[in-house]
Amino acid sequence: MDVKPHDGPIQRLYARWLDAATKTGFAASLCAFLLYVSGALPPYVAPERLPELWSLPVGRFLEQTGAPTGWRWVALMDHGDYLSLAAVALFGLITLLCYLRVVAPLLRHGERLQAALAIAQIAVLAAAVSGLFAGG
């Protein structure tokens, strides 16, 4: 069976980065959430208000709270809820990070087609992260 000898090491490299990044995301989410619910960091929308708001469609929720869309929430990371959102958003970056890590080894081993697929996936993820597909 024609299995490339470098498949294993590249796969294990991806696994190592995935493992480290996921553990970091878990720890960051837990810390940020404790800061949020303990009140150590003030929230943008008070948790006490949320039971009246979370049954609304997202559009009406945004109207009532003035909560930001797109990347504007980054400016609110001094609030407990948006620091928690940043920690949760880390999970959405982990795959991008792992793909970025394996592109160079793929090219080094002459895997141009696999590298092209990885670069295309990075482009799709980067476009998603940028908010290009979030629309209105």
Partner 1 sequence: MKNLRLIHVAALVLALTASGPATAADGAALPWWIWPIALFAVSFIIGIVAVLAGVGGGVLFVPIVGSFFPFHLDFVRGVGLLFALSGTLAAGPMLLRTGMASLRLVMPLALAGSIASLAGAVVGLSVATDLLQIALGATVITIAIMIWAMKAADFGVVESDALGDLLRLRGEFEDPAAGMRIDWRTRRTAAGLAAFAGIGFFGGVFGLGAGFANVPALNLLMGAPMKVAVGSSGLIISIINSSAAWVYIHRGALLPLLAVPSILGVMLGSRIGARLLSLTPANVVRRLVIAVMLLAGARALLRGLGIWT
Give Cβ neighbours of residue 94 (< 8 Å, ≥ 6 apart): 18, 21, 22, 25
Q: Who's near 47: CB < 8 A, 6+ residues apart?
A: 37
Give yes or no for residue 5 binding partner 1 (CB under 8 A): no
56-76 burial code (b ≥16 CB/10 A, e <16):
eeeeeeeeeeebeeeeebeeb
- CB-based contacts of 126: which residues, under 8 Å, 6+ apart? 96
CA 25: distance to chain centroid?
9
**Closer of 61 and 107 to partner 1 (Cβ):** 61
Print the binding letters for residues 99-118 with partner 1: x by CB under 8 A, - otherwise. ---x----------xx--xx
Q: Which position among 1, 5, 38, 40 is part of the footprint of partner 1 (CB under 8 A)? A: 1
Q: Which is nearer to partner 1, 62 or 107 (CB)?
A: 62
Q: How many residues bind partner 1 (CB under 8 A)?
A: 71
87 binds partner 1 (CB under 8 A): yes
Tell the smallest beta-carbon distance from residue 73 to partner 1 (Å).
8
Q: Which of the residues 19 through 48 are near partner 1 (CB under 8 A)?
A: 19, 21-22, 25-26, 29-30, 32-33, 36-37, 47-48
Least distance from C-beta 104 to partner 1, angstroms? 15
Do the Cβ atoms of 115 and 131 come closer than 8 Å?
no
40 or 135: CB nearest partner 1: 135
